[in-house]
């Protein structure tokens, strides 16, 4: 059983170092990039084999090695939770790397292709290490490597000021989160006597609560829970698309992983933990997708939708926590199972959507949806794949988003206390929030897909677009196949989900609850829906055979010469919903006032800036930037003085501690 852990460690090494050989090759040589992809493929396959072996093992494989640092130990283990989070790490970055061969070819990007390769691989390796680390210090080391690798991979086009700004916000936010995590692990060590991430003995309620809140904030920054999401839209929009796919599809989930792991090792939670997470998740879901509706930049829309999905996952985790406090195994299974299945699902469809959007950017050189349009005719394959991802992310049957949200819904309905069981009806309101999120997501993705792919082309660049090559289409196709597969056969994931729930909290009754899940019905009805639609389509086609068929211009109510400029834009499509949610979004008022009889030309722009980042954080930091230079007194740029500070602080600490 140690073989499985060895395979995963070897995979981490291969992934992490996959970009290095290219650095020895010339800047324009494509061989390095191919080698990196091959190394990633080898590493990922080893890793997946290791995961399969570990899932079959009787007990979770674990390993402990001595290392040179004074604190912590090299302690790793591979339980069902780790397996669940590792699977996307071994799938999505590999597919992204394959996609990168066509999207960001080394020969066309000699200035930064090798840097991307290095940090992309490091990001994947560090994420995998995060998911197996069982020691606070090792966890933080891997965490920081992941955060920095993502920074360097995402800020590739640093000559663009917008990219630098987004990178800076990301760096500040991720370190604010890491600070909370350092505090949390310090407190953990204080409470349990070691940095080991193993289930803790019963702790005082206040101490456990503090640990939970620190974990929620620290990991919330990475996952993008509102209002800690400030870095996310900018960083995702400005990174190369396959890096966005990995960041959104996998890296955000590491924040979720942290929450799952810490709640697994913390003692039995108080009811307010689950309640808080439920409320935060519901708010994040609704606000995230409402913001997405206001975006005109394709990738910013996708980024806000990631926030929404993180909210949905947090909702499920909150339900599971509540179930653990109130000793309800079915809530735990449905909440955690739904959340973890959604982790997989989101990593599939969001990566697919980012990669497809990358193909659009590659072909048209713009991210502004209102400059696109009618791409369905130029890029039919990309369009079909994108549409599939859009249906999946709206949680519509018969694709995978529906399966995970269905589990969450059933769990949330169970909190009503059905059939005489005790309940917690306030938690059932989560179902209503989830319904609103679902309807808003449909609006958002109809807006995105409709504006970009349907109608007629709005600019000349759109007319020249074409489908990308096989190296870009193949990864998208595989992700789409995953969406269909998990949507029609969600029970394939059920054993792993049940094992993860058992690893999270070994509660009696989990197995019974798992056996009662009517997952086969999702398969039957999904297949039934597909078959019914196919039969009807064939019937209509048979009916139309031989009938006259005419092609004319769109009717447009009698107007004979509609132009592409007259189409409904993404901005106008979202306008009424943005208005409806203006209490949340605070959109910039954009009004055209006619002041004279013969008004001159005017411009009109509708924009939805991020309320937290643009109206709170930025002004606050600007204020601090104006006030804090007074402290330059303490910062005279003389090294010996800084050394003196360090010595003084150390002596103070020694005196205080001793």
Partner 1 sequence: MTERLIHLGLLLLFPPLLLGVVNKTKAWFAGRNGPPLLQTYFDLAKLMRKGLVLSTTTTWVFRAAPVVTLATVLLAGLLLPLGRAAAPIAFTGDLILFAYLFGLARFFTTAAALDTGSAFAGMGSAREVTFACLSEPALFFAFLVLAKLSGTLTLTQMLHGPAGGFPPAATAPLILVALGLFAILLTESCRIPVDDPNTHLELTMIHEAMVLDHGGPLFGVILYAAALKLFVLGALLLHVAAPFQAAYPWQEWPLFIAEMLGLAVLIGIVESVMARLQMRHVPYLLVSALLLCGFGFILLVR
- Complete DSSP assignment for 188-207: HHHHHSSSB-SPPPP--HHH
Nearest-approach distance from CB 440 to partner 1, in angstroms: 5
Nearest-approach distance from CB 215 to partner 1, in angstroms: 31
- Cβ 243 vs Cβ 120: under 8 Å: yes
Q: Per-residue x/- mask for partner 1, residues 224 to 263, rule CB under 8 A?
A: ----------------------------------------
Which parts of 476-505 interact with partner 1 (CB under 8 A)? none
Q: C-alpha 411: how far from its chain's center? A: 23
> Is residue 589 near partner 1 by the rule CB under 8 A?
no
Which parts of 609-648 interact with partner 1 (CB under 8 A)? none
Instruction: Give the residue with the Cβ less far from partner 1, 180 or 403.
Output: 403
Specify the stretch interacting with partner 1 by CB under 8 A; choose among 151-159, 184-192, 254-262, 425-433: 425-433
Tokens representing residue 338 in the block: 């739904």
> Is residue 315 near partner 1 by the rule CB under 8 A?
no
Polymer length in residues for the chain: 658
Instruction: Give the residue with the Cβ less far from partner 1, 534 or 624.
Output: 534
Nearest-approach distance from CB 442 to partner 1, in angstroms: 5
Tokens representing residue 544 in the block: 């139309």
CA-based max dimension of the chain = 95
Instruction: Give the residue with the Cβ less far from partner 1, 100 or 450.
Output: 450
Tokens representing residue 508 in the block: 């009696």
Binds partner 1 by CB under 8 A, chosen from 547, 630, 632, 640? 547
Of 561, 490, 501, the C-alpha closest to 524 is 490
Instruction: Give the residue with the Cβ less far from partner 1, 546 or 657.
Output: 546
Q: Per-residue x/- mask for partner 1, residues 433 to 452, rule CB under 8 A?
A: xxxx-xxx-xx-xxx-xxx-
Nearest-approach distance from CB 161 to partner 1, in angstroms: 34
Binds partner 1 by CB under 8 A, chosen from 120, 409, 489, 504? 409
Task: Identify the residue whose tokens are 């094992």.
Answer: 499
Give the other-Cβ count within 10 Å of 536's Cβ: 10
Binds partner 1 by CB under 8 A, chosen from 206, 422, 515, 557? 557
Binds partner 1 by CB under 8 A, chosen from 139, 406, 489, 504? 406
Task: Identify the residue whose tokens are 């283990």.
Answer: 77
Tokens representing residue 378 in the block: 């130029």
Which parts of 383-402 interact with partner 1 (CB under 8 A)? 383, 387, 390-391, 394-397, 402
Beta bridge mates, 63: 76
- The angle at the Cα of 400, spanning 575 to 524, to the nearest 5 degrees, equals 125
Sign of CA dihedral 470, 471, 475, 476: negative
Which parts of 23-52 interact with partner 1 (CB under 8 A)? none
Specify the stretch interacting with partner 1 by CB under 8 A; choose among 230-238, 315-323, 336-344, 533-541: 533-541
Binds partner 1 by CB under 8 A, chosen from 31, 205, 536, 644? 536
Tokens representing residue 572 in the block: 């106008």
Instruction: Give the residue with the Cβ less far from partner 1, 78 or 372.
Output: 372
- Cβ 37 vs Cβ 65: under 8 Å: no
> Is residue 470 near partner 1 by the rule CB under 8 A?
no
Of 403, 379, 393, the C-alpha closest to 446 is 393
Beta bridge mates, 196: 135
Q: What angle in degrees, to the nearest 10, is found between the helix axes of 113-132 and 136-154?
A: 160
Binds partner 1 by CB under 8 A, chosen from 70, 425, 506, 625? 425
Q: C-alpha 596: how far from its chain's center? A: 50
- The angle at the Cα of 87, spanning 82 to 90, to the nearest 5 degrees, equals 120
Nearest-approach distance from CB 430 to partner 1, in angstroms: 10
Cα separation of 516 and 232, whole Å?
Answer: 38
Distance between first and last Cα of the chain: 46
Which parts of 192-221 interact with partner 1 (CB under 8 A)? none
Specify the stretch interacting with partner 1 by CB under 8 A; choose among 244-252, 504-512, 570-578, 643-651: 570-578
- Cβ 366 vs Cβ 372: under 8 Å: yes
Binds partner 1 by CB under 8 A, chosen from 67, 74, 272, 413? 413
Which parts of 504-523 interact with partner 1 (CB under 8 A)? 516, 518, 521-522
Coil, helix or strand at residue 64: strand
> Is residue 316 near partner 1 by the rule CB under 8 A?
no
Cα separation of 455 and 463, whole Å?
Answer: 12
Specify the stretch interacting with partner 1 by CB under 8 A; choose among 75-83, 295-303, 503-511, 532-540: 532-540
> Is residue 428 near partner 1 by the rule CB under 8 A?
yes
Instruction: Classify residue 570 by its DSSP letter.
Output: H
> Is residue 552 near partner 1 by the rule CB under 8 A?
yes
Binds partner 1 by CB under 8 A, chosen from 25, 27, 207, 410? 410
> Is residue 525 near partner 1 by the rule CB under 8 A?
yes
Instruction: Give the residue with the Cβ less far from partner 1, 305 or 451.
Output: 451
Instruction: Give the residue with the Cβ less far from partner 1, 69 or 544.
Output: 544
Tokens representing residue 329 in the block: 């195994």
Nearest-approach distance from CB 425 to partner 1, in angstroms: 4
Nearest-approach distance from CB 354 to partner 1, in angstroms: 20
Which parts of 276-295 interact with partner 1 (CB under 8 A)? none
Specify the stretch interacting with partner 1 by CB under 8 A; choose among 7-15, 202-210, 524-532, 622-630: 524-532
Nearest-approach distance from CB 196 to partner 1, in angstroms: 40
> Is residue 561 near partner 1 by the rule CB under 8 A?
no
Judged by CB under 8 A, how many residues of this single chain contact partner 1? 84
Q: What angle in degrees, to the nearest 10, is found between the helix axes of 380-393 and 400-414?
A: 10
Cα separation of 152 and 194, whole Å?
Answer: 33
Cα separation of 248 and 243, whole Å?
Answer: 8
Beta bridge mates, 65: 74
> Is residue 598 near partner 1 by the rule CB under 8 A?
no
> Following CA atoms 126, 132, 136, 138 in sequence, which dihedral angle do they give, to the nearest 10 degrees?
-50
Binds partner 1 by CB under 8 A, chosen from 377, 381, 463, 618? 377
Beta bridge mates, 75: 64
Contact residues for 328 (Cβ-Cβ < 8 A; gap 6+): 322, 414, 421
């Amino acid at each position: 059983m140690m073989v499985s852990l060895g395979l995963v460690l070897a995979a981490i090494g291969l992934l992490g170092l996959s970009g290095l050989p290219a650095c020895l090759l010339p800047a324009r040589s494509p061989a390095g990039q191919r080698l990196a992809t091959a190394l990633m493929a080898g590493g990922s396959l080893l890793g997946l084999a290791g995961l399969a072996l570990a899932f079959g093992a009787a007990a979770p494989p674990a390993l402990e090695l001595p290392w040179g640092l004074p604190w912590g130990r090299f302690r790793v283990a591979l339980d069902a939770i780790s397996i669940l989070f590792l699977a996307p790490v071994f799938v999505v970055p590999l597919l992204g790397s394959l996609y990168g061969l066509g999207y960001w070819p080394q020969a066309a990007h000699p200035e930064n292709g090798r840097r991307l390769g290095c940090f992309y691989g490091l990001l994947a390796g560090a994420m995998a290490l995060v998911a197996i680390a069982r020691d606070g210090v090792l966890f933080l080391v891997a965490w920081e490597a992941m955060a920095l690798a993502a920074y360097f991979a995402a800020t590739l086009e640093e000559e663009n000021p917008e990219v630098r700004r987004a990178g800076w916000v990301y760096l500040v936010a991720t370190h604010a989160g890491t600070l909370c995590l350092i505090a949390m692990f310090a407190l953990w060590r204080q409470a349990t006597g070691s940095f080991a991430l193993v289930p803790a003995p019963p702790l005082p309620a206040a101490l456990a609560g503090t640990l939970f809140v620190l974990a929620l904030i620290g990991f919330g920054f990475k996952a993008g829970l509102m209002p800690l999401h400030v870095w996310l839209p900018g960083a995702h929009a400005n990174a190369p698309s396959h890096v966005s796919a990995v960041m959104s599809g996998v890296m955000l989930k590491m924040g979720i992983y942290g929450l799952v792991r810490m709640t697994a090792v913390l003692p039995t939670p108080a009811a307010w933990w689950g309640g808080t997470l439920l409320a935060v998740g519901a708010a994040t879901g609704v606000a995230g997708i409402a913001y997405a509706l206001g975006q005109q930049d394709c990738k910013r829309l996708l980024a806000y939708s990631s926030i929404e999905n993180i909210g949905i996952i947090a909702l499920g985790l909150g339900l599971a926590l509540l179930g653990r406090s109130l000793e309800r195994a079915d809530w735990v299974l449905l909440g955690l199972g739904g959340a973890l299945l959604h982790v997989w699902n989101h990593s599939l469809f969001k990566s697919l959507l980012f990669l497809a959007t990358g193909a659009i950017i590659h072909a048209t050189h713009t991210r502004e949806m209102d400059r696109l349009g009618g791409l369905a005719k130029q890029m039919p394959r990309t369009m079909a794949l994108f549409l599939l991802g859009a249906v999946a992310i709206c949680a519509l049957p018969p694709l995978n988003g529906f399966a995970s949200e269905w589990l969450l819904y059933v769990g949330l309905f169970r909190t009503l206390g059905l059939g005489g069981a005790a309940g917690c009806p306030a938690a059932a309101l989560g179902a209503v929030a989830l319904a609103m999120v679902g309807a808003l997501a449909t609006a958002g993705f109809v807006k995105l897909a409709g504006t970009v792919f349907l109608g007629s082309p709005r600019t000349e660049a759109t007319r020249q677009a074409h489908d990308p090559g096989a190296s870009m289409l193949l990864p998208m196709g595989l992700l789409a196949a995953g969406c269909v597969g998990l949507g029609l056969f969600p029970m394939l994931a059920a054993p792993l989900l049940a094992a993860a729930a058992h690893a999270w909290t070994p509660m009696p009754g989990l197995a019974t609850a798992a056996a009662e899940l009517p997952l086969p019905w999702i398969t039957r009805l999904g297949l039934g829906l597909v078959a019914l639609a196919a039969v009807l389509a064939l019937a209509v086609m048979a009916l139309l055979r031989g009938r006259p068929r005419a092609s004319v211009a769109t009717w447009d109510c009698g107007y004979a010469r509609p132009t592409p400029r007259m189409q409904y834009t993404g901005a106008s499509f979202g306008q009424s919903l943005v208005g409806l949610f203006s209490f949340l979004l605070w959109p910039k008022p954009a009004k055209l006032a006619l002041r004279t009889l013969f008004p001159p030309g005017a411009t009109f722009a509708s924009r939805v800036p991020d309320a937290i980042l643009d109206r709170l954080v930025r002004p606050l930091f600007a204020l601090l930037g104006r006030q804090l230079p007074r402290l330059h007194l303490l910062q005279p740029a003389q090294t010996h003085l800084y050394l003196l500070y360090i010595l003084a602080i150390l002596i103070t600490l020694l005196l205080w501690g001793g």
